[in-house]
Structure 1
């Protein structure tokens, strides 16, 4: 493996690609082709339930509790090691096209006297990647970036010379009467985007990646190609907006007894976006647009795979395709993400290893739980590094997926679980729980082959039997017959907490001197009675006793 192509979609559900869902009402031939050339991890879970927290776990190979970026706009500590830091000593530079959701740590920058506009600050603000083009996509009307992104400039250069072409052209729909419908509204999904497909965000981002690969030639690289779609605004260009008929949409995974049950879920269900997604008539247009955005992404990924082949780089480039999280899309009477059902935290994960050692596993699927923090150590190992020893060791909490790719070795026991975290104190649902303090509005899930257990800081637990209830509709969190299961999974979370590498910058073992007599050898012979005892201990190399 010489190059690493790290492709991430935004808000793409695990079951919204053809190779994972035979009932999908549209095709994703290029994603399916990728799966046929590699290994599909069918039960991959993100470690964070939001864009920012999940991405920072991808970029660090660490759990949310360890890296601390619990939500969007929360920075990583400046000394947090990222994928780029791990790859650089191995001779591979890491580049960014698209979205990261990462921000600069202002306190760390100020403490170090770091110019926030300088090159070093920009690299840290971009999670360690060298920026080709950063584009986080969504820009609120009152944002300083509104109308000022590279994509806005691209649209202006193609004839849309207005103040905010991102919103008015790329993310607004054209009604039948010729008027526009803002992409900020859910109804916009009923109409095609004003922008043509070839000028869409997805097409433009793909063009940038193709240009990058052409320019790099034979030099090794890691490219994080991070698409904004199918994240909202849910509006898509022709012909994709009518790709799926509303009558063919899947039924939302929900049941009446989920309403008014667990207090945290009840608060989520009370949010406006959840109420609107729970209305099937309103959800339908959005869901069609969502599927259209995925089909559009698949089309342009086909262009990307084709160019990689044309350049002769398919035989030395490892490809990872994944998403930062899913989308409830009305499941469990909820919208958006932020909670811990599979709709939100289970994502596509496909890995293509071009080496001959991976030939025996091509086209296979792994059905045990895996974690998205496993991507970073997989990359490190693929280019010749040792994940456990990277940067002195003590950083990476994920485990390399290479054994699954080569068929050599396997995971057992505690290695076949996935832990995810959420902090819903940042969402408006906390208004339904006004008596609670924000730092306590946290939950975490542990998923095994059969069970998912959700532990809340201030509420009772939730438990789902995934063998018999794969849609997670029957909460066994209070059922007396499952107390032993809950106890075992609580122990599993305790073991997980104890395994966290919370002090990678100053681990005690890194600074302790090896061998006998470490303290005394440094000139501190503490606890001896007299010089004779010191000499005796020296002679016996017994300075620690």
Structure 2
């Protein structure tokens, strides 16, 4: 084993924290992810900073809360002034690239204002969230749907899958009982095998591309963000994964009829979304979830391929590996579909971290219970590669003390997350303006408090009610708890890293020494 010089940052889109064998799912098969967890550690309480693709990923990629980076929803451009993972890595001599999804939208207006050529080297990095776009493929593209000339589409055509958009007509479609080609976007078709062979699926293709790129890089230090599009919908998967699971493998939903009796207004509005109504139907839920589980097992098989490749290449000795997700998936829990709200099913993320450093040997295979945030990864990578902390910008903290069993006594006692549902139907049904749809969450060991714009707060006692079935937002006996948690949010909001253009060290060097620097004011 040795010191890390490379970073492999794997993200699965919409993978729930509790849908791995190593996190306790009784029927989900993930032997290769479980094996990676045995080589490293698994953080049992890791959380995203915004439970929806775009803003969550922007927090991962900037190391900053949504409140700070400002990209509050899918399609909201990330300010060109924000530094990203690639910026920090390149300063350390590490080439940094993407294979897969970022869901980032470029700040075209900012680039135009500054005269940045979108096709120049700086413009490409600014347009790709700081990554060299070794192969970007969002699955859902922010500009005009799926690109017919996407490299994956070209690859599929070369394999004999004809058509303008085989990404859709083969990789995300099936053939029904009458012989008709039907779309995997429709939940009713989740039981069908995708028309693409498993060797040519999106997951297989991206894994192939990652291994090829690592081989090309040789001994050049690299940071590769391998960002799988799945198990995000469309919920359709190639054979044999399509029928690997059935309704007997499905866990009962975490929900109760009392949640529907007098729900919080925002939750009630989300319950009326089409995806929530469909996943609240138990027959439909049981029809879809086996495909979701199959997608996870497909990813796991390719994680196994990738780990074997790294072993053969000798890269397990010098590569830090992280496997995580951008957010979860309700799958009918709490009478909801999709994500975006702050129940654990949506908020919690898997986080497996392998550090080849021998100082991490003492914790291998362990479950770590400290509260961890998505924004902790960039500080961890910088720490592993020997860089400066950049604490005047980054809002997370390095996880290496937990990996190295360094006995930290001042670890955080709360995590924070945010939402902005201005783009969703819930805003219209609640008759809100686009600037009235923010929500903020603080979660401690025991309490989860959610502050909503223009609505009462929510409060859950995670000790007495770990399934979050009883909202204490109006409980008279919990008024003091709500006041304390609200104050925690206020302090957190005041403490954001806004002064990002000067380091703390520079301020220390320039504090109360104006005379030494030739500046006199107020002197008699």
1:176 Cα shift? 2.6
**1:15: which partner in 2?**
18
**Deviating more after overlay: 314-323 vs 184-193:** 184-193
The aligned residue for residue 310 of structure 1 is 312
Structure 1: gaps spanning 5 or more residues: 534-545
SS, match of residue 416 in structure 1: coil
1:211 corresponds to:
212
Distance 1:225 1:273, change over 3 A: same
Q: Does 1:330 align with 2:332?
A: yes
Q: CA deviation at 1:21?
A: 1.4
Q: Is residue 484 of structure 2 the alignment partner of residue 482 of structure 1?
A: no
> Counterpart of 2:301 in 1: which secondary structure?
helix
Task: Compute the displacement of 1:503 (Å).
Answer: 2.6
Shift of 1:513: 6.5
SS at match of 1:170: coil
RMSD: 1.8
> What secondary structure sits across from 2:91 in the alignment?
helix
Render the CA deviation track for 1:9-44: whole Å, top value 9, x for unaligned. 000000010100142x23100000011011100110
Q: How far apart in 2 are the matches of 1:285 and 1:130? A: 39
Residues 45-84 of structure 1: pairs in structure 2 closer than 5 A = 45-84=47-86
Matches within 5 A, 1:148-187: 148-187=149-188
Task: Decide whether the 8 Å contact of 1:104 with 1:122 is kept in 2.
Answer: no
Deviation at 1:261, TM superposition (A): 1.3
Residue 202 of structure 1 and its aligned partner are, at CA, apart by 0.2
Contact 1:92 1:221 in 2 (8 A): yes
Whether the 8 Å contact between 1:26 and 1:243 is mirrored in structure 2 is no
Once the two structures are TM-superposed, the CA of residue 495 in structure 1 deviates from its matched residue by 2.1
Report the equivalent of 2:115: 113
Given the two structures, how large is their TM-score scaled by the length of structure 2?
A: 0.96
Q: Superposition pairs for residues 138-153 of structure 1, below 5 Å?
A: 138-139=140-141, 143=144, 145-153=146-154
1:382 paired with 2:380, answer no
Number of equivalenced pairs: 520
Look up the SS of the partner of 1:446 in the other structure: strand
User: Does the 8 Å CA contact 1:41/1:348 hold for their aligned counterparts?
Assistant: yes
Q: CA deviation at 1:416?
A: 2.5
Within 2, Cα distance between the matches of 1:359 and 1:506? 37
The reply on whether 1:339 has 2:336 as its aligned counterpart is no
- Provide, for residues 197-225 of structure 1, a one-character-per-residue CA deviation record: whole Å limited to 9, x for no partner: 10000000000011011111122110000
In structure 2, the partner of 1:537 is none
- Which position in structure 2 is the counterpart of 1:396? 394
1:6 partnered with 2:3: no
Normalised TM-score (structure 1): 0.92
- Secondary structure of the corresponding residue to residue 253 of structure 1: coil
C-alpha contact 1:278 1:334 (8 A) present in aligned 2: yes
Work out which of the residue numbers 466, 491, 513 in structure 1 matches 2:487: 491
Matched ranges for 1:464-479 at <5 A? 464-479=460-475
CA contact (8 A) 2:139 2:146 kept: no
| Mapped pair 1:527 → 2:522 | yes
Deviation at 1:168, TM superposition (A): 0.5
User: CA offset at residue 506 of structure 1?
Assistant: 5.7
Inter-partner Cα distance in structure 2 for 1:264 and 1:412: 35
Which of 431, 445, 449 is equivalent to 1:449?
445
Q: Which residues of structure 2 form unaligned runs of 5+?
A: none
Q: 1:266 to 1:516 in 2, by over 3 A?
A: closer
Equivalences for residues 417-456 of structure 1 within 5 A: 417-434=414-431, 436-456=432-452
Partner SS state of residue 439, structure 1: coil
Q: Which residue of 2 aligns with 1:363?
A: 365
In structure 1, C-alpha distance between the alignment counterparts of 2:263 and 2:347, rounded to whole Å: 21
1:36-73 CA distances to partner (integer Å, 9 max, x unpaired)?
A: 01110011000011101000000111000000011111
Deviation at 1:515, TM superposition (A): 5.3
Does structure 1 retain, via aligned residues, the 8 Å contact 2:18–2:25? no
- 2:30 maps to 28
1:399 and 1:160, CA in 2 relative to 1: closer, same or farther beyond 3 A?
A: same
CA pair 411-460 structure 1, distance change in 2 beyond 3 A: farther
Q: 8 Å contact 1:370–1:416 — kept in the other structure? A: no
Deviation, structure 1 residue 511: 6.8
Describe the superposition over 1:118-167 as per-residue Cα deviations: whole angstroms up to 9, x where unpaired.
33222111111111101101259x92544221111110110012111011
Counterpart secondary structure, 1:190: coil
Distance 2:507 2:413 in 1: 33
Report the secondary structure of 2:315's partner residue.
Answer: coil
The residue number in structure 2 matching 1:276 is 278
Distance, in Å, in 2 between the alignment partners of 1:351 and 1:521 is 48
Q: Secondary structure at the match of 1:122?
A: helix
Q: Is the 8 A contact 2:427 2:433 kept in 1?
A: no
Partner Cα separation in structure 1 for residue 435 and residue 308 of structure 2: 47
Deviation of 1:184 (Å): 1.6
CA distance in 1, matches of 2:123, 2:473: 46
* Cα separation, partners in 2 of 1:219 and 1:458, compared to 1, 3 Å: same
* Match in the other structure for 1:406: 404
